[in-house]
Amino acid sequence: MLVTVIQYILLIFFILFLVMIAQKMKIAYPIVLVIGGLALSMLHIFPSIQIDPELILLIIVPPLLYEAAWYTSWKELWRWRRVISIFAFLIVILTSGVVAVVSHALIPGFTLAMGFVLGGIVSPPDAVSATTILKYIKVPKRLSAILEGESLMNDASSLIVFSFARSAVTTGVFVLHEAAVSFVVVIVMGIAIGLLVGLLYYVIHRWLPTSTEMDVILTLTAPYVMYITAESLHGSGVLAVVSGGLFLSARSQRILNYRSRLQGANVWSTLGFLLNGLVFMLIGLELPVIIRELGNVSLGEAIKYGVIITVVLIITRLLSTMGASVFTVFISRYITTADNRPGWKGPLLLGWAGMRGVVSLAAALSIPVYMDNGELFPQRNLILFITFTVILLTLVVQGLTLPPLIRWVNMEDPDKPLPPEEQERIIREALLEKSMEFLDKEYPEEVKTNPALKQLREDLQHRQTVSVHNQLEGTDHKLYKKIYLKMLNHQRNVLHELNRDPHTEHGLIRKYHELVDIEEEILRMKYENVK
């Protein structure tokens, strides 16, 4: 046990070191971690890492999805809802079907059901890889929004396909119309359960006397409760986590105090980074283990199958995104669309940004070693090898070529947004102006008689920073603290209204929410003895 703990601590140090290298080279860290894990496995520094297949989806996927949902802009998600729905459901199902047919025709002894198992595993692109790469290069905001929204939903559709196909393999029974009905029921049940569990957590946070530590712990348990409850009731655990996370995120300003939000953001950022790092490192570390367990299939044949499936996935996604563009132009004659002339540049970049990653790995490792009848799951190790090959090739090849492709395409932002600095100026001025209005309307007499409030009003008027909180003589500090806290709450309401503006980026609004929380932390620390 001690040796295992030491090995995992060393693994974490390797992850940190490789991420430092990736940041220095300005390469997305998932690419470096996969290559680094592969190199470490060949050096035999770590023994084979064994993970219980039944627990992999439960341990890794819920918190990663919850964190992604928490920081996703509902405004952007709703704006691009049609495109995201097509990408997340229709294209994933289409891709699964293409992979199933190709693998059934290509691989001896590979049934159509086993092909759908493989298709369900490798069909969803990984948002972590794409968004990490996009941090290092300027790209239209809509592309990032679509990729993030797609990643939240496509995991659900791919895992549902995977689940049905796996059942068909183990039981030998598959009825199309029953599967179609079950598909809809699983989706609806998953969303409903996620919202209900989210509502329960809303009640606990809002009306029970929780502390900051309790709030953070509750947020850590939420994705697991949502996932387990939905899966136990035969709903989609993934959609439960996504819908519940979006529900609670939209109400975080009401249910969490400033300190819970600040500490929770730090905890979740660290946890997400660690889980992603471990998974991408695991991809590289596990590949030699899978190679040794290929059985009757030679390494050369397995590599051939993996490369062909990878090429099929890339071509299918590119054709699908281009087809979606053509369909959008056609359908915009009859309904209002977010963009009736998407062109070819955006679809090309979205198609090439289809790197596979965490969810594909988790799904592949969750395939049981034995079926219900006690027999070995057919072609399990070959499916695992093909999955690892797809992840490795898409991460390295597409991941490294995406930045130069973006530069070559040189796509202008069709939305022509204001520069971030201009958006920030508008947000700052709105906060200052509305704060002055709040003080003048609600506390005119106090501003005249309280030196600190008077100074605060003058600082706001002259557009100066107001976070010093000088303890001026003759000041009623209790009154100053009370009014200032109310003003900060008023600023949060102003930010909420500003977020409704489609031209204001959700990320900047979130940034200023955090600044207001930090301002409250400074104020309370300055006057911690003033009750």
What 3-state class would DSSP assign to 370?
strand
Residue 48 has a pLDDT of 54
Residues 393 and 451 in one domain: no
Residues 370 and 515 in one domain: no
212 DSSP assignment: H
Q: How many CB atoms lie within 10 A of CB 396?
A: 16
Residue 414 domain flag: no
Residues 456 and 392 in one domain: no
- pLDDT over 50 at 176, yes or no: yes
Q: Using CA atoms, how far apart are residues 310 and 306, in angstroms rounded to an integer?
A: 6
Residues 332 and 475 in one domain: no
Distances in whole angstroms, Cα of residue 298 to Cα of each of 103, 106, 358, 381: 16, 15, 26, 12
Environment class of 515 (CB within 10 Å of its CB; exposed 0-12, middle 13-18, buried 19+): middle
Give tens-digit pLDDT for 293-322. 777 788 888 899 999 999 999 999 999 888
Confidence of residue 219 (pLDDT cuts 50, 70, 90): very high
Residue 196 has a pLDDT of 96
Residues 320 and 357 in one domain: yes
Residues 431 and 358 in one domain: no
Residue 415 domain flag: no
Q: Are 117 and 166 in contact (CB under 8 A)?
A: yes
377 DSSP assignment: P
Q: Of 350, 382, 409, which residue is a domain's last?
A: 409
Residues 431 and 396 in one domain: no
Find the domain containing 510 and state its range. 420-526
Q: Domain holding 172: CATH number?
A: 1.20.1530.20
- pLDDT over 90 at 498, yes or no: no
Residues 402 and 427 in one domain: no
pTM: 0.81
What 3-state class would DSSP assign to 264?
helix
Share of the chain above pLDDT 70, in %: 88
Residues 304 and 367 in one domain: yes
Q: Of 409, 443, 458, which residue is a domain's last?
A: 409
- Nearest of 393, 303, 293, 374 to residue 107 by alpha carbon: 303
Residues 387 and 467 in one domain: no
With tokens 């002055």, the residue in question is 436
Residues 393 and 430 in one domain: no
Give tens-digit pLDDT for 332-391. 777 766 666 777 888 888 888 888 877 787 788 778 777 767 777 788 888 888 998 898
Residue 531 has a pLDDT of 60
The region that residue 20 occupies, defined by phi over 0 for left and psi between -120 and 50 for alpha, beta otherwise, is alpha
Q: Of 409, 443, 477, which residue is a domain's last?
A: 409
Least confident of 395-404, 455-464, 466-475: 466-475
**Geometric angle at alpha carbon 511, from 350 and 24, rounded to 5°:** 60
What 3-state class would DSSP assign to 28?
coil
Average confidence (pLDDT) over 434-438: 88
Residues 121 and 167 in one domain: yes
Give tens-digit pLDDT for 88-113. 888 888 998 899 999 989 988 888 88
The total number of structural domains that make up the chain = 2
Q: Are 118 and 103 in contact (CB under 8 A)?
A: yes
Confidence of residue 198 (pLDDT cuts 50, 70, 90): very high
Residue 200 has a pLDDT of 96
- pLDDT over 50 at 466, yes or no: no
Residue 258 domain flag: yes
Q: Using CA atoms, how far apart are residues 175 and 281, in angstroms rounded to an integer?
A: 39
Which uninterrupted H or E stretch holds 73?
none
